[in-house]
Structure 1
């Protein structure tokens, strides 16, 4: 009797893990773009940081990311159980944030005078150049900002994963297991890759300077050294595009008439339907992002005027 019960339990566990495996793959497909965005953003967080401080900064942000997910996984499960419509609202807010971040990056790149000057970036450059500055203390603010950004992106990854597995009929236990797997794999994968990416140039320099290194080894080192900044630039561009694609896609799916309009237009392009859908999602993300940036910039200027007026009195 006990043996039969044990076999039934093992069979149930096997079925559960099969379901979890399928659902994890579904969640991975849905969040691939956002994970790429997260990777690009985190790789950018250490841009300008001294080589000796890169890994400590990444490790500090990674620890914060784990704490974020320890909060977010139970919260996502609770929200989906108590009030499921709130998941859609949170998704929409995340979509707006991603579109805003992407638009701000594009505007800063091509029309830097349109937005307030980035004092934080300049301050960090000055700190790197000043040997008397305690970089560990200075970087605490940078790390906090990176962890805040990670919180939002992690929430989006988990909420999108939750929506994907809910659509295929996942139960509460399956949701908990899948979200936990996604949280662990994404965190370890992203920050492991970021650590590897930022150290490519150091690895290349080591190969070049290695005693008795062969010509092939030195050429590989030179290639790695030359490729590192190009890879960082590619990740920056890919991350910005992902913001528009993912953010726009979330907004399109959350607004009925937009979703139908995009589907109808994409259907007209035949074999290019998928590419057209992505392009239209990205366009929606760009337009909405620019609008949000404009609104926030105007509100910021009004507040500054009010503060100047009150201080004058």
Structure 2
């Protein structure tokens, strides 16, 4: 009997070690996958504040909370099951789907570039004013639809990084990445949209330093929002182009991934102590150029199709 108890304890200890190892695997893989998805997260954080612009300040945080709840539903109830089914039954489809998402990011980035330089964009129109409850519902609905696309990209990037791991590890990584990214994005968005209110509050304080800081925050927020929009555009082009670059290599195409890799290594070796940063910047710059070219081509083609449709409708 004692030997049976010792054997049982050994089994329990073995299971505990396996569980701990699995948790460590999930944690390590989650960190790596989250890092690769960071570019999409920057864009997500840049896009979302637009949805509460012009709405009542008292409703900004509740609306962001509703969008965040919708983002969690997107990630865990819609994207997670589909992702696990894909990795179980059609793993070959992950890279093409990822590249489709990358092409969409390139298209979005190219459209934003066109808007920056005075071209016509395709931005989602703001809901018409009227009933505040209907306006809020329309705002949340539009934001959650946009989040679905960006969340799918985040989760697919994470899945591609752990596609060889056991199914439970994949599920754990996707859950951790999904929740962590949602908290990071919408926590940052909440802080951003309330920064001007914080500045106004500080500007009314008796302390001269607090008033100066508050006025500085109020003046800085338009600049911050514009900078965030530019960073989001760059992130979409960089991440989208990078996805296409690496995806083409995964599908067996040597060009352009291998020449880019060789160039990156050459730049890294030529720049000495700054080699790692210079090599990364080289790859990022080329990925961004690829994003601009692919996204611009898609945007041009879609604009031509829309123009032809309008012309056909005129007859």
Q: One fold, TM greater than 0.5? A: yes
Aligned to 2:208: 215
Distance 1:26 1:301, change over 3 A: same
Written as runs of structure 1 = structure 2, the 5 A alignment for 1:258-297 is 258-270=256-268, 271=275, 272-297=278-303
Aligned mate of 2:15, from 9, 14, 17: 9
Quote the Cα distance in structure 2 between the aligned partners of 1:296 and 1:3: 65
CA RMSD, aligned part only? 1.9
Quote the Cα distance in structure 1 between the aligned partners of 2:297 and 2:132: 36
Once the two structures are TM-superposed, the CA of residue 175 in structure 1 deviates from its matched residue by 0.6
Quote the Cα distance in structure 1 between the aligned partners of 2:218 and 2:168: 47
Does the CA contact (< 8 Å) of 1:44 and 1:232 recur in 2? no
User: Per the alignment, in what secondary structure is the counterpart of residue 170 of structure 1?
Assistant: coil
Farther-moved stretch of structure 1 (17-26 vs 76-85): 17-26
Does the CA contact (< 8 Å) of 2:45 and 2:185 recur in 1? yes
Written as runs of structure 1 = structure 2, the 5 A alignment for 1:1-313 is 1=5, 2-70=8-76, 71-112=78-119, 115=120, 120-121=125-126, 127=129, 133-166=130-163, 169-210=164-205, 213-255=206-248, 256=253, 257-270=255-268, 271=275, 272-309=278-315
Once the two structures are TM-superposed, the CA of residue 118 in structure 1 deviates from its matched residue by 5.7
Quote the Cα distance in structure 2 between the aligned partners of 1:150 and 1:277: 27
User: Per the alignment, in what secondary structure is the counterpart of residue 256 of structure 2?
Assistant: helix
Quote the Cα distance in structure 2 between the aligned partners of 1:62 and 1:157: 15
Once the two structures are TM-superposed, the CA of residue 101 in structure 1 deviates from its matched residue by 0.6
Distance 1:118 1:239, change over 3 A: closer
Structure 2 residue runs of 5 or longer lacking an equivalent are 269-274
Superposed CA deviations along residues 51-89 of structure 1, whole A, max 9, x for unmatched, are: 233223312211211110121112111111110011111
Runs of 4+ in 1 over 4 A off after TM superposition: 116-119
Distance 1:287 1:218, change over 3 A: same
